[in-house]
């Protein structure tokens, strides 16, 4: 619960910490051989998922502590290989599980510290446009939750959804035009109305209430949709209007290539 007087940035940093702790509890007690269990992401094991989060947190720390070095490193990495993110995950997954877990924990703690120390109004370079501290923390929370879903699926664990999903939903809504562009589609001119039922039974709304094109459903399902962790056919998210219906097929809350997405689960069971 947010303490009285807590700033919005401090609150999202607290949520980022809590989301990391949830995933930590999933992997902390795993036997070493369980780290090689496959996740729904093709070719990625549990170790790959944690390695990716560890590496990305380290990049965020570099962005906050040495922006010039981050820009140079990112430019050099893109020049050397278009698949440098996957290469970093493979390298991290090769580490002994205990060392990888310690590295991820250390990076998470350092990231929270350096973000809390940033001055108001600072803009941090990233793989896309520069962003403020709250946006950086929200993005890290979204990734932690999404990759945590892959880990939970690999372990057959059901995670209890929390109000922290509002951060993920908000990114998904704001990334609408990016998602269309990532699929070589022209973004719609008009705004959409998005109405979601929160895990606590409340209502989260985005966009003008009189919008013709609308998306409705449970917040959890919407977040699974925009992180591309479930196929639209497996979710209770509904759209009204042709562009809104198209959005359900291309939505993504993260930067970079959309990937193939998930197959419908009924196809997986055949």
- H or E stretch including 154? helix 133-155
Give the distance from CA 170 to its chain's centroid.
11
The single-letter DSSP state of residue 34 is G
CATH topology of domain 165-258: Nonspecific Lipid-transfer Protein; Chain A (3.30.1050)
Count other Cβ atoms within 10 Å, centred on residue 182: 16
pTM: 0.93
Q: Which CATH class is domain 8-155?
A: mainly alpha
CB 225 within 8 A of CB 237: yes
Alpha-carbon distance 100 to 106, whole Å? 10
The single-letter DSSP state of residue 217 is E
* Strands 193-197, 214-218: pairing kind: parallel
Q: What is the pLDDT along the chain (270 residues), one digit of tens a residue?
A: 444 455 689 999 999 999 999 999 999 999 999 999 999 999 999 999 999 999 999 999 999 999 999 999 888 776 766 688 899 999 999 999 999 999 999 999 999 999 999 998 999 999 888 999 999 999 999 999 999 999 999 999 999 999 999 999 999 999 999 999 999 999 999 999 999 999 999 999 999 999 999 999 999 999 999 999 999 999 999 999 999 999 999 999 988 777 777 889 864 433
Tokens of 231: 């196929």
Using DSSP's 3-state secondary structure scheme, residue 124 falls into strand
Q: Where are the domains of the chain?
A: 8-155, 165-258
């Amino acid at each position: 619960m947010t303490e009285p007087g807590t700033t919005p940035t401090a609150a999202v940093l607290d949520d980022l910490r809590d989301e990391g702790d949830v995933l930590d509890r999933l992997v902390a007690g795993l036997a070493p051989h369980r780290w090689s269990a496959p996740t729904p992401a093709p070719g990625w094991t549990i170790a790959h998922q944690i390695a990716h989060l560890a590496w990305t947190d380290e990049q965020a720390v570099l962005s906050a502590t040495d922006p010039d070095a981050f820009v140079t490193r990112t430019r050099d990495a893109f020049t050397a290989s278009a698949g440098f993110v996957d290469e970093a995950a493979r390298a991290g997954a090769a580490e002994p599980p205990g060392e990888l877990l310690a590295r991820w924990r250390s990076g998470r703690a350092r990231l929270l510290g350096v973000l809390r120390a940033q001055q108001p109004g600072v803009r941090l370079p990233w793989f896309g446009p520069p962003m403020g501290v709250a946006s950086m923390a929200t993005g890290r929370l979204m990734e932690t939750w999404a990759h945590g879903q892959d880990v939970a699926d690999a372990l057959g664990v059901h995670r209890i959804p929390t109000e922290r999903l509002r951060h993920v939903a908000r990114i998904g809504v704001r990334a609408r035009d990016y998602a269309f562009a990532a699929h070589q589609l022209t973004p719609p001119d008009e705004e959409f109305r998005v109405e979601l039922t929160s895990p606590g039974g409340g209502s989260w709304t985005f966009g003008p209430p009189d919008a013709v094109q609308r998306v409705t459903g449970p917040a959890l399902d919407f977040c699974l949709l925009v992180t591309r962790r479930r196929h639209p056919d497996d979710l209770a998210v509904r759209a009204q209007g042709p562009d809104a219906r198209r959005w359900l097929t291309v939505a993504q809350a993260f930067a970079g290539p959309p990937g193939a997405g998930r197959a419908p689960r009924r196809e997986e069971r055949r």
